[in-house]
């Protein structure tokens, strides 16, 4: 599986902060953006970046009256932009249609071997994700990265020479680092995958 890029570029991060990074700061910023992007992706269970993926899934039986097809698979990465190809047990099929993030397959001989002993395996090559990345997601990635750049020690406040400085740490005293606050999680919940299909194999 290809390594996904950061959800925010260093250039956009610097522009948002109104700063010019030194070479050392650019390296730090890139590492923090990578970490924050990974945390966001792990929380929403989505790649987010628009990419093409080939995954194999176990077909599930469908209600022939409700869905009017022999079987279905649910594509876990969203939004589904395009489906390039579908194959069943290694054989390409064109007898399918898309319904949102579902792929409905017209028919399959479930009652004959090997399907009688093991559900068919459906391989789908599809493009998914956003281009560009939604603004609320990039804002959260930058917030998470900036927390560490501003306050790498996790100090909430300190007094130096009679001057008090307060850092961007929640009132609870929780040092989030590049982790997500509850407020950020609530914002990301609209993108979060809470139920999905078992992924068998990546190519």
> Which parts of the chain register pLDDT below 70?
1-2, 64-67, 108-117, 151-176, 195-203
Pairing of strands 71-74, 102-105: antiparallel
Give the pLDDT score at 150.
Answer: 80
Q: Which residues have CB under 8 Å from 200's CB, separation 6+?
A: 55, 56, 57, 58, 121
Question: What pLDDT score does 103 carry?
Answer: 96
Cβ neighbours of 26 (radius 10 Å)? 15
Contact status, residue 128 vs residue 81, Cβ threshold 8 Å = yes
The reported pLDDT for the residue numbered 8 is: 98
β-bridge mates for residue 72, sequence order = 60, 104
The whole-number pLDDT of residue 197 equals 42
pLDDT recorded at residue 55: 97
pLDDT of residue 66: 66
Distance CA 175, CA 18 (A): 24
pLDDT of residue 80: 97
pLDDT of residue 3: 87
Peptide bond preceding 114 in cis form (omega within 30 of 0)? yes
């Amino acid at each position: 599986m290809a390594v996904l890029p950061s959800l925010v570029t260093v250039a956009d991060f610097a522009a948002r902060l109104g700063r010019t990074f030194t070479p050392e700061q650019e390296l730090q910023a890139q590492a923090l953006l990578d970490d924050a992007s990974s945390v966001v992706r792990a929380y929403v269970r989505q790649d987010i970046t628009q990419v093409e993926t080939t995954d194999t899934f176990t077909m599930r039986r469908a209600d022939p009256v409700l869905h009017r097809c022999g079987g279905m698979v649910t594509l876990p990465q969203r939004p589904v932009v395009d489906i390039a190809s579908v194959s069943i047990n290694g054989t390409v099929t064109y007898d399918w249609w898309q319904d949102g993030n579902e792929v409905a397959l017209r028919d399959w001989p479930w009652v004959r071997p090997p399907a009688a002993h093991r559900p068919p395996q459906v391989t789908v090559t599809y493009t998914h994700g956003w281009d560009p990345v939604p603004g609320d997601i990039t804002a959260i990635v930058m917030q998470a990265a900036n927390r560490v750049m501003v306050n790498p020690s996790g100090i909430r406040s300190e007094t130096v020479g009679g001057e008090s400085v307060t850092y961007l740490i929640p009132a609870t005293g929780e040092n989030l680092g590049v982790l997500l606050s509850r407020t950020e999680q609530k914002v990301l919940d609209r993108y979060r995958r809470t139920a999905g299909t078992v992924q068998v194999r990546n190519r």
